[in-house]
Structure 1
């Protein structure tokens, strides 16, 4: 896991250096349009069984005028008794353009690479319209809908001795819907929930992301996060869903 830690540290250093930049106009310092977050979590257990887990997340957002762009990368790794048990990377990039105070157009890409689920690669491209029911310092609630395209590459490695996933590569048109919300309960506690549905002829996937963030200082927080991916169609003997619960330190810039 040393290589993973070094890679994560390098990404953290790059994000930190970039997030600290500000724009200057004359003698006036203008707040940077960039907002960045970095998360780390690590657990080690010993005794009758040995296990190590590492999860990390990097998020960056750029807002200027009518434009908003957000990118996110998440990684999870689990070792049990010296053998790799889970490895998953997920990443997304989305850009929005405001048409009115509440309505916007969006274009997005999201991907999941996993060695231990039905699809080794799962990529989605989508574009459509979004609507913000509310967007205040206390509450954010927005909904997006639109068509798109999906590419899924099945995991042909053996999950168990006799279980092989569907052998077909998926390339199809899809419908995408997303609900994103954030509630600032009190000054130091925020709750977030995101639900994303991607549906096509071959299968339907639903992603659920829930989190609670408790601010320790202005720039450091403790974050509890639950992530679940559900496929409505998987081979016999495999579960429809994979989920991850993590406890992380969050650094905001």
Structure 2
């Protein structure tokens, strides 16, 4: 399996070629890749003159696959300063473990965490487990879906709201349903397009996480990645924005 499939979404890797493992369908008899894959992204922007701002974003991801098991983790960080005042500071955490039941179906367990100083929620954490299904898994296209129950903890941001605003001061602890769709398309040898949609629905609110990224390989281990990601809550405290989005241009290093 080409290493380029790991640019943008950490989804696939396998040390051996069993039909029931996380491998794309292929007639190739190439040497199997390493079971451990990792990648690092880094981006920085600075603007001076009429506008004064600087932003820093980073991402570290790793995945290990052995037999029917696949374990992946990811950490993202974003910081933005405007006129020497911090405007955004947030981190995302993800850890997931999968076990293949058949050629297309698998069980999954997922943890997703989000912390921020300036978004609608200071803390937003979910755990979920359920069933995954790979609709297609080839060298050029991966499409897989997941659904399952779980639990959510949210701490709303009420410090940025005026005293007269309607707020949701209560910490959220509730059962949820999580749905997830991953798409990875490789139209060209050096170009990968990835998309991910995650929906987390509970009694208090529903959250939509979306990501779209395009990765262009420069060498076998270095690529240029452009990504757009957003988090949308259908209900937020007071007059805070329901959507928080980030656009990044990064260098990606694959190991």
Q: TM-score, normalised by structure 2?
A: 0.85
What whole-Å deviation, never above 9, does each CA across 1:86-108 have from its counterpart, x for those lacking one? Answer: 01100100000000000000000
What whole-Å deviation, never above 9, does each CA across 1:38-91 have from its counterpart, x for those lacking one? Answer: 000000000022101000000101111000011000000000000100011001
- 2:184 aligned to 177, 182, 185, which one? 182
Structure 2 contact 166–238 (Cα < 8 Å) conserved: no
Unmatched 5+ residue regions in structure 2? 1-14, 16-30
Aligned to 1:144: 146
What whole-Å deviation, never above 9, does each CA across 1:152-209 have from its counterpart, x for those lacking one? Answer: 0122322578767421100000000000010011000000000000000000000001
Count of matched residue pairs: 226
Structure 2 contact 60–76 (Cα < 8 Å) conserved: yes
The structure, 1 or 2, with the larger RCO (C-alpha pairs under 8 Å, 6+ apart) is 2
> What are the within-5 Å matches in structure 2 for residues 8-87 of structure 1?
31-87=33-89
The alpha-carbon deviation at position 231 of structure 1 amounts to 0.1
What whole-Å deviation, never above 9, does each CA across 1:7-26 have from its counterpart, x for those lacking one? Answer: xxxxxxxxxxxxxxxx9xxx
Q: 1:113 to 1:162 in 2, by over 3 A?
A: farther
Structure 1 contact 190–212 (Cα < 8 Å) conserved: yes
Give the distance between the partners of 2:183 and 2:102, measured in 1 at CA. 19
Give the distance between the partners of 1:155 and 1:236, measured in 2 at CA. 9
Give the distance between the partners of 1:245 and 1:164, measured in 2 at CA. 30
Structure 1 contact 116–159 (Cα < 8 Å) conserved: no
Give the distance between the partners of 1:85 and 1:247, measured in 2 at CA. 19
SS in 2 for 1:218: coil
The alpha-carbon deviation at position 135 of structure 1 amounts to 1.1
Structure 2 contact 161–238 (Cα < 8 Å) conserved: no
Structure 1 contact 41–249 (Cα < 8 Å) conserved: yes
> What are the within-5 Å matches in structure 2 for residues 69-218 of structure 1?
69-158=71-160, 165-218=167-220
Give the distance between the partners of 2:218 and 2:101, measured in 1 at CA. 37
Structure 2 contact 132–145 (Cα < 8 Å) conserved: yes
Structure 1 stretches of 4+ with a deviation exceeding 6 A read: none
What whole-Å deviation, never above 9, does each CA across 1:200-228 have from its counterpart, x for those lacking one? Answer: 00000000011000000110000000001
Q: TM-score, normalised by structure 1?
A: 0.86
Give the distance between the partners of 1:137 and 1:36, measured in 2 at CA. 19
Unmatched 5+ residue regions in structure 1? 1-22, 24-28
- 2:251 aligned to 244, 249, 252, which one? 249
The alpha-carbon deviation at position 117 of structure 1 amounts to 1.2
Alignment RMSD (CA, Å):
1.8
Give the distance between the partners of 1:53 and 1:164, measured in 2 at CA. 32
Q: 1:30 to 1:133 in 2, by over 3 A?
A: closer
